[in-house]
Amino acid sequence: MASVSASDVKQIVVACEAGMGSSVMVARQLAKQLKSQEITVVHSPVNQLAETPHQIVLVHRGLSARAKQAVPDSVVIIFDMFLGDLNIAKLVGALQNGDTISDG
Amino acid sequence: METPSQMADLLQLAGITLDATASSREEAVSICGSLLVDLGAVSQEYADAMWEREQVFPSELGDGFAIPHGTDESRQHVMFDQLVFVRFTEPVSWVNEDISVCVGIASQGDGHVEILGNLADLLMEEESAHTLRTSSDPEVIRDLILKGA
């Protein structure tokens, strides 16, 4: 199980199938919430994850297997809702508290 | 950074329909695709890819909104970045919820990121989401999405 310390997180990538719809919206919401943390949030199609620098991958449940396959050593956080997801809120809290973040 | 005029081009009044009717998810996505084709933003191949993608991975966001769009491969059939706003007089049964508004997306690159981010912000706010659901004025909807929350 991959994990990363909050202080080492510089870039989070939100992945979706095409990288043009839902990942864009999730990335925007997350970037707003992490404004004061100096963490960059980008979005990407899931098949370009390996070429996109990141410490954490955020992906919808339906694509989580593909994401884990693409970047097996990365921390992969799974969400179910594009707007107002609890797992994403938990991630924001962990980053703000300086916790260690694991797959989930 | 997008200039205001470029961003304004992403959603045209001609791309806003407030009284669409669809009896199925497929028909709803097809209405979005046809509108994008009519505007000259995409070819029919892209419109077809929107439905292919929708079947594999539904684009519903929650709160009655969905954002149908094509696949990564079908980006080659996009002539220019464009959004369409299609509201249905009766909600359309999707996978996990009923959808009353589809925002169809065509994009070659990241030109639409700002405006889609605006939409996400608007949906997180009760009042603006309500306006998007109920306003009968296409200009109000267009201005709201272009300006953001």
For chain B, give every domain's residue range. Answer: 4-147
Angle at which helices A86-97 and A22-33 cross, to 10°:
30
Tokens representing A48 are: 């370009």
The strand pair at B98-106 and B65-66 is best described as: parallel
Q: In 3D, which of B116, B83, B8 has the Cα closest to residue A31? A: B116
**What are the extents of the domains in chain A?**
10-96
pLDDT digits (tens, 9 = 90+) for A75-90: 999 998 888 889 999 9
Calculate how close chain A gets to B132, using CA atoms only, in Å.
Answer: 16
Query: What's the pLDDT band for B5 if we cut at 50, 70, 90?
Result: low
pLDDT band at B128 (very low <50, low <70, confident <90, very high): very high
Q: Which of A51-55, B76-80, B118-122, B128-132 has the lowest mean pLDDT?
A: B118-122
The answer, for B40 touching chain A at a CB cutoff of 8 Å, is no
Topology annotation, domain B4-147:
Mannitol-specific EII; Chain A (3.40.930)
At B1 the pLDDT is 47
Residue A9 distance to chain B (closest CA, Å)? 23
Q: What distance in Å separates the CA atoms of residue A46 and residue A14, rounded to the nearest whole number?
A: 9
Does A22 touch chain B if contact means CB atoms closer than 8 Å?
yes
Model pTM? 0.86
What is each CA distance from B24 to A46, B28, B53, B96, in whole angstroms? 28, 6, 16, 14
pLDDT at site B62: 81
Cα nearest neighbour of B54 on chain A:
A17
Residue in chain B closest to A24 (alpha carbons) equals: B113
The amino acid sitting at B145 is: I
DSSP 8-state code for residue B105: E
Q: Is the dihedral of CA A75, A77, A78, A82 positive or negative?
A: negative
Q: A89 and chain B: CB distance < 8 Å anywhere?
A: no
Asked if B59 has any chain A CB less than 8 Å from its own CB, the reply is yes
Structure tokens at B90: 């009766």
Find the catalytic residue in A16, A30, A71, A75: A16
Element (H, E) at A12: strand A11-16
By CA distance, what is B82's nearest residue in A? A20
Topology of domain A10-96 in CATH is Rossmann fold (3.40.50)
State the pLDDT confidence band at A91, using cuts at 50, 70 and 90. very high
Cβ within 8 Å, pair B62-A82: yes
Per-residue pLDDT at A9 = 94
Give CA–CA dist A103/B65, Å, rounded.
29
Q: What's the complex ipTM?
A: 0.73
Give me the numbers of helices (H) and strands (E) for chain B, helices first please. 6, 5
- Residue B70: pLDDT over 60: yes
Rounded Cα gap, residues A59 and A64, in angstroms: 6
Nearest to B34 by CA among B111, B88, B106, B90: B106
